[in-house]
């Protein structure tokens, strides 16, 4: 018996739009737990486990991207094998909710079950300590990255939105895209968890290094928090863009690790918070912008 869940699930609802109400079927984004078990092959017991709530699909990419973002691995060849496994012996049904990952030479320094997660806004981690932790892991500033025309940047939200098929059906998913500097979309992933959508992209790039070699831009559907900047730095993606605001720590990290950070990207309006040299503006002649003039009032975010 196969217990695999799809990325969307049906539900019976009562729809209300004035008078009268009516009953109908609707699609929901599936939310299921995924347990990632990390081992080095030397013991039957996992070194650590991590549980996340995710939308089923691209689960191996999610596991690989999570391990990369956490610093457990740095190269794709460190993953010896990944496989789905069943839960307790009492339940023989394969639920596809547990992945076992055998890793060569994992970096487990200072890791415990309580610590094994990406630092998030609510975890109480000091911002300065968060930046230092990335440096201690050996993450270096991103110096690569070609110039990107303003016209490509303006198209990013559309390029992502046009490919959010599950969002169109359910209306309840975060989206992230990897795009080249010329505006070619390499991959798009969706998930109920915004972290998971980006981790799936990192995993795709890690497991498919040749087609992902030209990745230049990480475009996300929500606000730009520290976590996104961290994942872009670890994934060696020079440009991070989003439709909403960045946090102060995201800007600090982007500046320290050489990222181009673009927020409030809506139509032909956006703010560049760091890495201006990678953006070729229409009014900058033949040279990319090294410093921006004060933004017009219509481009500023509300105070």
pLDDT digits (tens, 9 = 90+) for 32-41: 999 999 999 8
| pLDDT at 217 (0 to 100) | 96
Q: Count Cβ atoms below 10 Å from residue 228 Cβ, excluding itself.
A: 28
| pLDDT at 295 (0 to 100) | 44
Regions in the chain scoring below 50 on pLDDT: 114-115, 117-128, 291-303
Query: What does the alpha-carbon distance between residue 35 and residue 40 come to, in Å, rounded to a whole number?
Result: 17
Per the structure block, which two tokens stand in for 24? 């109908």
| pLDDT at 115 (0 to 100) | 46
| pLDDT at 123 (0 to 100) | 41
Q: What is the pTM of this model?
A: 0.84
| pLDDT at 232 (0 to 100) | 95
181 is catalytic: no
Angle at the Cα of 173 from the Cα atoms of 73 and 268, rounded to 5 degrees:
95
Question: Where in the chain are the domains?
Answer: 148-299
Contacts of 230 (CB under 8 A, 6+ apart): 69, 118, 119, 130, 134, 253
Strand-pairing partners, residue 37, are 49, 100
Query: What does the alpha-carbon distance between residue 200 and residue 202 come to, in Å, rounded to a whole number?
Result: 5
| pLDDT at 202 (0 to 100) | 96
Query: What does the alpha-carbon distance between residue 200 and residue 195 come to, in Å, rounded to a whole number?
Result: 9
| pLDDT at 297 (0 to 100) | 41
Query: What does the alpha-carbon distance between residue 137 and residue 71 come to, in Å, rounded to a whole number?
Result: 7
| pLDDT at 109 (0 to 100) | 75
| pLDDT at 288 (0 to 100) | 54
Catalytic residue chosen out of the listed positions 85, 123, 126, 181: 123
| pLDDT at 92 (0 to 100) | 64
| pLDDT at 120 (0 to 100) | 41
**CATH, domain 148-299, list 3.40.50.2300, 3.40.140.10, 3.40.50.9100, 3.30.70.141:** 3.40.140.10
Query: What does the alpha-carbon distance between residue 235 and residue 220 come to, in Å, rounded to a whole number?
Result: 15
């Amino acid at each position: 018996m196969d217990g695999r869940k799809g990325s969307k699930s049906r539900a019976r609802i009562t729809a209300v739009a004035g008078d009268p109400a009516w009953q109908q079927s609707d699609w929901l984004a599936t939310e299921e737990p995924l347990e990632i078990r990390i081992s080095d092959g030397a013991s039957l017991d996992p070194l650590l486990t991590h549980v996340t709530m995710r939308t089923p699909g691209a689960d191996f990419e999610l596991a690989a991207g999570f391990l990369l973002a956490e610093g457990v691995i740095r190269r794709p060849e460190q993953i010896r094998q990944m496989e789905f496994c069943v839960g307790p012996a009492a339940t023989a049904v394969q639920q596809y909710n547990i992945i076992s990952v055998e890793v060569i030479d994992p970096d487990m320094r200072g890791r415990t079950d309580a610590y094994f997660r990406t630092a998030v806004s609510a975890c109480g981690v000091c911002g300065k300590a968060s930046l230092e932790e990335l440096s201690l892991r050996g993450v270096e500033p991103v110096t690569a990255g070609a110039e990107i025309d303003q016209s490509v940047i303006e198209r990013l939200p559309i390029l992502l939105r046009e490919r959010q098929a599950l969002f169109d059906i359910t209306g309840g998913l975060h989206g992230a895209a990897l795009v080249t500097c010329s505006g070619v979309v390499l991959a798009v992933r969706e998930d109920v968890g915004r972290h998971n959508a980006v981790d799936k992209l990192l995993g795709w790039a890690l497991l498919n290094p040749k087609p992902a070699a030209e990745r230049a831009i990480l475009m996300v559907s929500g606000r730009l928090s520290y976590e996104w900047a961290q994942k872009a730095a670890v994934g060696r993606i020079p440009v991070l863009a989003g439709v909403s605001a960045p946090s102060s720590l995201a800007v600090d990290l982007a500046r320290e690790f050489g990222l181009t950070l673009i927020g409030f990207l809506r139509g032909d309006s956006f703010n560049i918070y760091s890495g201006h040299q990678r953006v070729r503006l229409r009014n900058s002649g033949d040279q990319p912008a090294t410093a921006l003039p004060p933004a017009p009032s219509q481009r500023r975010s509300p105070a």
